[in-house]
Amino acid sequence: MEYDDKTRDELLDEIKKLSQRIANLESLQEKSGRFEENQYVLKTPFGGDEKCMSFSIDISDHERIRTELKEIRTRYRLILDAMPANISYVDTEQNLRFVNKWHEKWFGYHPKEIVGRNIRDLFGETLYLKVQGHIQSALEGNEVTFETTFSNNIQMRHLAATLVPHKNDEERVLGFYILAYDITDRILIEEALRRAEREKDLILDSVTELVMYRDLDFRIVWANRAASYAIGVPAAFLTGSRCFELWHRKDRPCDGCPVMEALQTGEPREGEIASPDGRIWYVRGFPVRDEDGKLVGVVEVTRDTTARKHSEEKLKKSEMQLADAQHIANLGSWEFDLQARSFHWSQELYRICDIDPKEFRLTFKEMLKLIHPDDLGIFKVAIETAYRNRSSFSLYHRIVRPNGTFRILHSQGKVVFDDKGNPLRIIGSAQDVTARKKAEEALKKKHLELKQVSRVLEKRVEEEVAKNREKDYLLIQQGRQAAMGEMIGNIAHQWRQPLTTVSLLIQNLNESYSYGDFSRDYLDRTVDHAMQVIQYMSQTIDDFRNFFKPDKDKTFFHIGGVIQKTISFVEPSLKCRNIVIRVQAEDNLTVTGYPNEYAQVLLNILSNARDEFVERGVEKPEILIRAFRKRNKIVVTVSDNAGGIPESIADRIFEPYFTTKELGRGTGVGLYMSKTIIEKHMGGKLSARNIRGGAEFRIEI
């Protein structure tokens, strides 16, 4: 069912009225109970008086309104479900709160499965992006009407949609209604009409005959391109003119004009007319009638016949041109007259077969002898099938020339029948495609060779990729080894306090023994305490050892856990320099990759920030690590207040072996290695920029 603007507006009005009626009834339902309050005095069992109060509510109106509200809602649902259009209500969070049953037909979901879903999820990303601007406009309080397309996984459909804002008494938008109906049939019909009009114009403009349509006043309503060219006036200027005024410079039609006679008599007429330039035209006039048989105009079809007297010369010239064209195309033609049993070949076909027409007795039987014995069967089957099915034939076959050489031909043709279905003749063509077939075979051979070369190249590429991967791992290991000294320093920070504790415990044992306070219980407690400290030191060794162990396979890991582990490595060295480190991380952030390598990237960035704080003497050094999800990526940023990256080196910090540190304090491998890990190994992106007061490194996976 198609909807015009009037139908759409009436539908919208009905929806608004029913929605408003439901809202009014809901409001009345809240206010419908009449409340009564009564007070009285009650004697207690102990002789005292107790004041009591009773309440009563009249819910008769409430029940009536509830019943009416239920009926209207039922009618509302039935009306909306009966309408062959998608009708829904969307709140300000773009969640569907109501849909009619036509959503099931369009989207394949029952209305109960749709209500509560976000329209972005229901529409899909492609359709949502198309209508996102219209949705925003509706949420701003504007009524929007537009047309769009969407695919329901079967075919592309055209939609006409109207978004109507739903506002409260304070004009605040509470949501919006969607009214969408399928206009695919209308679009297809309109396109078919336009296509038919274009095809009509193309067809009539493609013919060489002059075609014009005239009204009852003999004025031109439409003319094709040939008419415009012949008269020498653009088609736009022909419209509304009379040909005898425009072309013949007369004030009345030419004597014996077939078109005028057809218009006057209502019968087809034909004849010849001479134009002022001396050309002779064969003119035909065809009356045009409407559905009631009333004459409404006439169609003129005119052909230039001036060249008739030169037809023989032109025919001869045409035959010569045909022969030249056949020679250029290596294409010969033939015809076999089934009634006279006579055969005719073009000159080019004789040349292709390398036969002298004077020495060759041309018969169908002799022609079959030229076909290669292995291909004779398929040739006969092709001819017989075309004869039996009244269809054309096309096949490739070989011929054997009198000198023993062979050629490959592409033969095509058909059987010609008369009006009664009797076969008259077989006509066909044969093109020498030997060179092309040989080229195709050579091309196939080259293609196979290229495929083999491609396989070899693919294998080499795989080997090179593996080598590069191995080099990357070596580079990462070198970077880790370069950081080994710094890590040992971190271990020293981690162990300093535990070692002091163990030393004090041992000294206490000695003193306890000297002063006579030594006991089995004291010994056990001291040993337990020492073992706990030693266990902590052992765990520290395991943590650092695992950090330097390379990841072999990608795994899922939690970003927050990697951040905390990395901070635990450098926290002692940061604290001794009064560097504050803060972390702001969302929960449940997971990525696929190499956790140890990811931790090494963070460690490189934190170490560089620490060195910059020390080198620049920052008073209140601070590092902020943020981890969050943005669209489909997990982002970690590390920012500091160390003054930022100098503009002169900002484009070079990720280059291999580039460093600003003094000799012996840096290799320039750290950031290059970090970029390799994130971008090549984990398919992410590592970048850096200056922010207010410092620098920010950004990792996206």
> The CATH number of the domain where 231 resides is what?
3.30.450.20
User: Count of alpha carbons within 13 Å of 507, Cβ hemisphere only?
Assistant: 6
Contact 449, 522 (CB under 8 A): no
Q: What global pTM score does this model have?
A: 0.32
What pLDDT score does 265 carry? Answer: 92
Percent of the chain with pLDDT over 70: 76
Judgement on whether residues 486 and 630 belong to the same structural domain of the protein: yes
Please check the confidence at residue 31 and state whether its pLDDT lies above 70: no
Give the Cα separation of 8 and 84 in Å (integer). Answer: 12
Give the Cα separation of 659 and 669 in Å (integer). Answer: 8
Query: Which has the minimum average pLDDT: 80-84, 450-454, 604-608?
Result: 80-84
Using DSSP, state whether 414 is helix, strand or coil.
strand
What pLDDT score does 248 carry? Answer: 79
Where residue 47 falls (left for φ over 0; alpha for ψ -120 to 50; beta otherwise) is: left
Using DSSP, state whether 426 is helix, strand or coil.
strand
Residue 189 domain-assigned (yes or no): no
Q: Are strands 694-700 and 633-640 parallel, antiparallel or unpaired?
A: antiparallel
Residue 311 domain-assigned (yes or no): no
Residue 500 domain-assigned (yes or no): yes
Residue 332 domain-assigned (yes or no): yes
Tokens, residue 444:
């196939």
Judgement on whether residues 33 and 152 belong to the same structural domain of the protein: yes
Give the Cα separation of 624 and 584 in Å (integer). Answer: 8
Domain that holds residue 339: 323-432
CATH number of the domain within which 629 lies: 3.30.565.10
Judgement on whether residues 558 and 662 belong to the same structural domain of the protein: yes
Give the start-end residues of each E strand in 356-405: 392-400
Query: In sequence order, what are the residues at sequence separation of 6 or more whose Cβ sits closer than 8 angstroms to the Cβ of residue 236?
Result: none
Judgement on whether residues 512 and 385 belong to the same structural domain of the protein: no
Query: In sequence order, what are the residues at sequence separation of 6 or more whose Cβ sits closer than 8 angstroms to the Cβ of residue 682?
Result: 554, 591, 592, 593, 594, 597, 598, 701
Tokens, residue 159:
């939609």
Q: What is the pLDDT of residues 139-165, one digit of tens each?
A: 999 999 999 887 766 678 888 889 999
Q: Which of 179, 194, 221 is the last residue of a domain?
A: 179
Residue 458 domain-assigned (yes or no): no
Q: Which of 407, 432, 457 is the last residue of a domain?
A: 432
- If DSSP states are collapsed to H, E and C, what string results for 187-251? HHHHHHHHHHHHHHHHHHHHCCCEEEEECCCCCEEEECHHHHHHHCCCHHHHCCCCHHHHCCCCC
What pLDDT score does 2 carry? Answer: 45
Tokens, residue 523:
């010994």
Judgement on whether residues 334 and 395 belong to the same structural domain of the protein: yes
Residue 665: which of 476, 491, 489, 545 has the closest Cα?
Answer: 489
Judgement on whether residues 394 and 496 belong to the same structural domain of the protein: no
Judgement on whether residues 392 and 281 belong to the same structural domain of the protein: no
Would you give the DSSP letter of residue 309? Answer: G
Judgement on whether residues 295 and 148 belong to the same structural domain of the protein: no
Using DSSP, state whether 178 is helix, strand or coil.
strand
Give the Cα separation of 67 and 238 in Å (integer). Answer: 72
The H or E element that residue 470 is part of is helix 434-482
What pLDDT score does 687 carry? Answer: 93
Judgement on whether residues 300 and 390 belong to the same structural domain of the protein: no
Q: Which of 135, 162, 179 is the last residue of a domain?
A: 179
Residue 296 domain-assigned (yes or no): yes
| Number of domains the chain contains | 4
pLDDT, mean of residues 592-597: 86
Residue 476 domain-assigned (yes or no): no
Q: What is the pLDDT of residues 359-390, one digit of tens each?
A: 888 787 888 888 899 998 898 888 888 888 88
pLDDT band of 65, cuts 50, 70, 90: low
Judgement on whether residues 27 and 155 belong to the same structural domain of the protein: yes
Judgement on whether residues 236 and 175 belong to the same structural domain of the protein: no
Residue 425 domain-assigned (yes or no): yes
Tokens, residue 129:
């992006």
Q: Are strands 173-182 and 86-91 parallel, antiparallel or unpaired?
A: antiparallel
Highest mean pLDDT among 46-60, 298-312, 416-430, 646-660: 416-430
Please check the confidence at residue 3 and state whether its pLDDT lies above 50: no
Judgement on whether residues 228 and 80 belong to the same structural domain of the protein: no
